Amino acid sequence: MGLPRAYGVTFSLNETEAMARKAARGAGYGWGASEDVGKAVRWLCVQGLDGCAALARLLPYTDSHDPAQISPRVDTDPWLADPGPLCPIYAGAAFADRAHLMSNKGQNLGPLRQPLLFAPFVAQVACQKGVTMTLSCGSSTIVTNGQRISVADSHPQIWSSAHVSVGGHVSASAPLAKRTSPDMDAWDLLAIFAYRTYAPATEESRAKGAGSGTTDND
């Protein structure tokens, strides 16, 4: 019989960012993208949103696809992936890198998985430009001014399309979180992915005292 689950467990923001980063690395993201994941999850958790749960829903999908299959083709309108849907991390990084090219009409995206994880990249651009921006799909909206966020649906899974535009109103007023309280099932899944980053012990590493606790992140 397993140990009873501890309820009410909280983690520091640094612990949460590190777990998200390692889990992303374990699921096949490169170093830079894994850093983006950690920062995105941390930002969402500060806003009081469970970025860990969103990431836990995303990683099984990205783990089973080559990055080229879920990254945006930015020469199309809307941005699409083949076969898609878009990964919010790869699409978000592309959006942040190319935000200076966004027209007054905004940016259209094709099917987007876990759009909540795309929001921190929109927040980054909104902060840089000093504007409020809206990520939307029909009546579902995520609005951010770079500092705060308003989410019409706190648990979006996948959108058939998405649009980013300047404008909107942020209604968030709750205090920013200083610790995280993730769904523990989601946290456990992230830990499974993170465990993949641990290097297996060898006779040489044991002799040096490294054991099985050495990671490719350390």
Q: Residue 152: which of 166, 168, 165 has the closest Cα? A: 168
Q: Compute the average pLDDT of residues 102-131.
A: 95
**CA-based nearest residue to 164, from 183, 180, 142:** 142
CA distance 96 to 59: 21
- The pLDDT tens digits for 122-161 are 999 999 999 999 999 988 999 999 999 999 875 668 999 9
Distance CA 46, CA 179 (A): 8
Evaluate whether 114 touches 54 at the Cβ level (below 8 Å). Answer: yes
pLDDT of 199 reads 66
Instruction: Indicate the DSSP class of residue 117.
Output: G
Which 3 state secondary structure label does DSSP give 28? Answer: coil
Strand 158-159, strand 162-166: pairing: unpaired
Q: Looking at residue 134, what is its pLDDT?
A: 97
What confidence score (pLDDT) does residue 83 get?
87
Helix (H) or strand (E) holding 113: strand 112-113
121: which residues sit within 8 A by CB, 6+ positions away?
A: 36, 40, 88, 92, 93, 95, 96
At 138 the pLDDT is: 83
Is the Cβ–Cβ distance between 45 and 177 less than 8 Å? yes
**What is the tens place of the pLDDT at every residue in 35-44?**
999 999 999 9
How far, in Å, are 10, 16, 51, 211 from residue 43 at the CA level?
16, 10, 8, 34
